[in-house]
Amino acid sequence: MTNSSTRHANSNTENTWLKTYYFTRFAFSAIWVLIAFSVARNVPALAAIMLVGYPLWDAAANYVDAQRSGGLAQNKAQFFNFIVSIITAIAVAVALANSNNAVLIVFGVWAAFSGILQLAAAVGRWKTAGAQWAMILSGAQSTLAGAFMINMAFGSEPVGIANIAPYAAFGAFYFLVSSVSLAISDARKKRVTA
């Protein structure tokens, strides 16, 4: 195989993985949001499990994706996102003993920081996978959402899992758009090379 063919094959393999990865993340987040709005907002124990579980899921997803993309050493943004997400899950568990406002602050800080890391990972992937614009937008929006959550946590209104669910819903939307965008990009490449 020539270098050009090898690069094309590697790009196809990575895009296949990314489409599956992004769609899986969409599905998880969409289900999480549905449960948060329908059941968990009235069942504190379930809400607590889901609030700790969300950053743990993010940590696991970043770990698996980094391993599939050359390992944690080659994917610094995902490595830091993996570590930050684990720390966030622990911080959420501690904050739950304090108040929902404290939980919202932890989620806000995490959203802002992980948004920057997601943006960095997407920019790094643009060269090899292309079609990363939705992940770049998602990272930027996550950073803004984090600031919004922190501000909301210091307000006088009661807060809970329903205040975090819109953040997860936007994440789900961007993962779906990214999966579809990669599929369209791959279809265009196939038409050009056919």
Question: What is the tally of structural domains in the chain?
Answer: 1
3-state helix, strand, coil in the chain (%, to 5): 85, 0, 15
Whether residue 115 lies inside any domain: the answer is: yes
pLDDT at residue 119 greater than cutoff 60: yes
Selected residue with higher pLDDT from 13 and 144: 144
Token digits of residue 192: 């050009």
What is the distance between the alpha carbons of residues 119 and 2, in angstroms, rounded to a whole number? 32
Whether residue 172 lies inside any domain: the answer is: yes
Most confident of 1-5, 14-18, 59-63, 189-193: 59-63
Whether residue 73 lies inside any domain: the answer is: yes
The pLDDT score that the predictor gives to residue 23 is: 94
The single-letter code of the amino acid at 58 is D
Integer CA distances (angstroms), 48 to 52, 160, 161, 190, in order:
6, 10, 8, 46
Token digits of residue 66: 């980094």
What is the distance between the alpha carbons of residues 71 and 106, in angstroms, rounded to a whole number? 28
The pLDDT score that the predictor gives to residue 7 is: 47
Cβ neighbours for 22, distance < 8 A, ≥ 6 positions apart: 175, 176, 178, 179, 182
Whether residue 166 lies inside any domain: the answer is: yes
Which of 146, 142, 150, 144 is CA-nearest to residue 173?
142
Q: What percent of the chain has pLDDT over 90?
A: 54
The pLDDT score that the predictor gives to residue 194 is: 60
The pLDDT score that the predictor gives to residue 11 is: 55
Q: Which domain holds residue 60?
A: 13-184
pLDDT tens sequence across 52-75: 999 999 999 999 989 988 888 888
Whether residue 79 lies inside any domain: the answer is: yes
Mean pLDDT value of segment 166-194? 84
Whether residue 27 lies inside any domain: the answer is: yes
Torsion, Cα 61 62 63 69, to 10 degrees, reads 110
pLDDT averaged over every residue in the chain: 87
Cα-to-chain-centroid distance, residue 100: 22
> What predicted TM-score, i.e. pTM, was given to this entire model?
0.83
The pLDDT score that the predictor gives to residue 169 is: 95
Mean pLDDT value of segment 144-167? 94
Q: Give phi and psi for 75, each to the nearest 5.
A: -120, 75
Whether residue 147 lies inside any domain: the answer is: yes
Whether residue 6 lies inside any domain: the answer is: no
Mean pLDDT value of segment 6-17? 62
